[in-house]
C-alpha cells in the first residue's frame, strides 16, 4: 500500500516512545518553560507526575515530530503525482511544524501532543477552485492508501478571519517496515493561488511586525483589513464573503479603502515586494530539504540546503533552541526553483496580493487609453502613500 521508492534509501526516524510518554512530554512542553528553567519550583510537580524531566520531554517531542517525516514524504509524493494529471501549473511542498507552534497550539487548545494532527503538513497551490474540487474528490473517493480522519472545507465555509483552504487529515497506512509509522497523521492543504496570496500576506506582515496575526493576534485594524481582502478575493472566485463583511462588493471596497489608508497598507506591502537574491549560490544542486530562518531584527532570510533529512533535522532543532530571535522552519520541496513559489511569505513576496489590493481600492477608470489609465493609477498610488504619510505624522503629533 505504500510506495516508498523515493525514500527507501534514506534514513528517517521512527518514534521510540509510547503514547503515554508522548502525552506526558506534551504536558510539560505546554507550560511556558525552556530547558534552562529546570530549577523552577513550579516544574517539580509536573516532573513528578509524568515521570520525565524537561530535557527528556524535548527529546521525546523532537523524536515524535521527526517520525512524521517519512509519512509526510509519502503523502506528498501521492499529491504531486495526482496534481501532474490535473494541472501542471500547480506547486506542492511540505513542512514539519515548528516546535514553537506545536507548544502554542497545546497552550491554546485542549489537545495533547499525541492527538495533534498537523505536525506534518503538505500543501498544493493550484490555478482555480475547480482544480481544488478535483483534488478533494480524489481524496474522498479515489485514494485508497491512507485513512481519511477528517475533512474541513474552509473554502466554502471560510474561517472568521477570512482564511480559505480545503483541509484533509490522513492517517498514514504502510506495510512491512513502513507499518512502524501507522500512528502518524498528515494534513493536506489545497488552495488556489489567490487564496495562497492572501495567506502569504498575513504571514509576511506577521513576520515583519512579529505578531501572530495568523493565530488571531495583532491589531484589530490589521485583522479587519485581511477579512475585507479575503472577501474581495472571494468575489473574484465566486465564493461567499466572510460572515463579518458587508453584503455588497462596493461596500467592501469602500471600507477597504478606509482601513488600508489608515494602516498605510499599500506602502508597507510595496516595501516588502522585493526579489530575494542568492539563489545562484546554490548552483544546480538538487537539495530536497531547506532550513529557512527569518531574522526578526534584520528582517533577512537565510537558507541552508540539505540532501539528507537527518542533517537538516539536526540543524532545525539547533536553530529552534539557540536562535530565539528567528523564525525557523524545515521544508521539503522538489528543489530550489520551487522554494519561493511554495513559501513566499519567508521571502516577503506579497506582490500578487498587493496588486489585488491596488485593483480593489483604485478609483474607476475614466479613460480607455492605456497611457492615461496608467498615469491615473500611478497618481492614485502615490496619493495613497502621501495620505498614509500625513496620517502617520498626525498620529505621531498626537
Cell representation of residue 298: 534584520
pLDDT for the residue numbered 5:
47
SS3 state of residue 367: coil
SS3 content of the chain, % helix, strand, coil (to 5): 55, 15, 35
For the stretch 187-241, pLDDT in tens is 999 999 999 999 999 999 998 888 888 888 889 999 999 999 999 999 999 999 9
- CA neighbours closer than 13 Å in the CB half-sphere of residue 289: 22
Q: Which one, of 271, 278, 201, 198, lies nearest residue 230 by Cα?
A: 198
Q: What is the pLDDT of residues 320-348, one digit of tens each?
A: 887 678 889 999 887 777 787 788 877 77
The mean pLDDT of the chain is 83
pLDDT at 181: 96
pTM: 0.82
Q: Say whether 172 sits in a helix, a strand or coil.
A: coil
What distances in angstroms separate CA 224 from CA 154, 160, 183, 282, 383, one per listed residue? 18, 10, 39, 40, 22
Name the pLDDT band for 370 (thresholds 50, 70, 90). low
pLDDT at residue 387, as a whole number: 46
7 contacts: CB under 8 Å, gap ≥ 6: 70, 73, 74
The whole-angstrom separation of Cα 188 and Cα 361 is 33
> 163-196, pLDDT tens digit by residue?
999 999 999 999 999 999 999 999 999 999 999 9
Burial degree of 56 (CB within 10 A; 0-12, 13-18, 19+) = middle
Written as nine digits, the cell of 318 is 539547533
Are the C-beta atoms of 61 and 25 separated by less than 8 Å? yes
Beta bridge partners of 300: 295
How much is the average pLDDT of 89-114? 92
3-class secondary-structure state, position 308: coil
The rounded distance, in Å, linking the Cα atoms of 333 and 179 is 24
Quick one: pLDDT at residue 165?
97
Find all residues with CB under 8 Å of 208, minimum gap 6, and list them. Answer: 268, 272, 299, 348
Q: Shortest CA distance to 207 belongs to which of 340, 326, 338, 125?
A: 326
Amino acid at each position: 500500500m505504500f510506495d516508498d521508492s523515493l525514500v527507501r534509501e534514506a534514513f528517517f526516524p521512527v518514534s521510540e516512545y509510547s503514547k503515554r510518554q508522548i502525552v506526558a512530554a506534551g504536558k510539560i512542553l505546554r507550560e511556558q518553560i525552556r530547558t534552562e528553567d529546570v530549577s523552577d519550583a513550579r516544574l517539580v510537580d509536573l516532573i513528578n507526575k509524568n515521570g520525565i524531566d524537561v530535557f527528556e520531554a524535548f527529546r521525546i517531542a523532537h523524536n515524535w515530530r521527526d517520525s512524521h517525516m517519512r509519512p509526510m514524504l509519502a503523502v506528498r509524493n501521492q499529491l504531486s503525482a495526482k496534481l501532474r494529471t490535473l494541472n501542471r501549473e500547480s506547486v506542492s511542498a511540505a513542512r514539519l511544524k515548528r516546535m514553537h507552534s506545536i507548544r502554542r497550539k497545546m497552550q491554546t487548545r485542549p489537545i495533547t501532543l499525541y492527538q495533534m494532527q498537523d505536525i506534518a503538513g503538505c500543501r498544493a497551490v493550484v490555478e482555480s477552485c475547480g482544480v481544488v474540487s478535483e483534488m478533494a474528490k480524489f481524496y474522498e473517493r479515489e485514494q485508497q492508501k491512507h485513512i481519511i480522519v477528517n475533512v474541513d472545507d474552509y473554502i466554502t465555509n471560510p474561517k472568521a478571519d477570512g482564511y480559505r483552504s480545503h483541509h484533509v487529515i490522513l492517517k498514514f497506512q504502510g506495510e512491512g517496515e513502513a507499518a512502524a509509522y501507522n500512528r502518524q497523521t498528515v494534513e493536506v492543504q489545497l488552495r488556489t493561488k489567490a487564496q495562497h496570496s492572501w495567506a502569504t500576506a498575513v504571514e509576511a506582515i506577521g513576520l515583519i511586525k512579529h505578531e501572530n496575526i495568523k493565530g488571531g493576534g495583532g491589531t484589530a485594524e490589521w485583522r479587519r483589513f485581511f477579512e475585507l481582502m479575503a472577501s474581495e478575493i472571494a468575489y473574484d472566485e465566486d465564493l461567499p464573503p466572510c460572515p463579518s463583511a458587508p453584503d455588497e462588493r462596493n461596500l467592501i471596497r469602500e471600507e477597504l479603502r478606509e482601513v488600508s489608508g489608515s494602516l498605510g497598507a499599500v506602502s508597507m506591502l510595496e516595501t516588502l515586494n522585493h526579489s530575494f537574491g542568492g539563489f545562484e549560490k546554490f548552483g544546480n544542486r538538487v537539495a530536497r530539504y531547506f532550513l529557512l530562518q527569518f531574522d526578526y531584527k534584520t528582517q533577512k532570510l537565510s537558507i541552508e540546503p540539505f540532501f539528507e533529512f537527518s542533517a537538516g533535522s539536526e540543524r532545525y532543532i539547533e536553530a529552534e533552541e539557540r536562535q530565539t530571535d528567528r523564525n525557523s522552519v524545515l521544508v521539503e520541496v522538489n528543489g530550489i526553483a520551487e522554494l519561493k513559489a511554495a513559501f513566499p511569505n519567508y521571502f516577503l513576496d506579497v506582490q500578487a496580493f498587493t496588486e489585488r489590493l491596488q485593483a480593489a481600492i483604485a478609483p474607476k477608470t475614466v479613460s480607455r487609453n492605456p497611457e492615461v489609465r496608467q498615469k491615473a493609477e500611478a497618481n492614485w498610488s502615490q496619493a495613497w502613500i502621501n495620505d498614509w504619510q500625513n496620517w502617520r505624522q498626525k498620529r505621531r503629533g498626537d
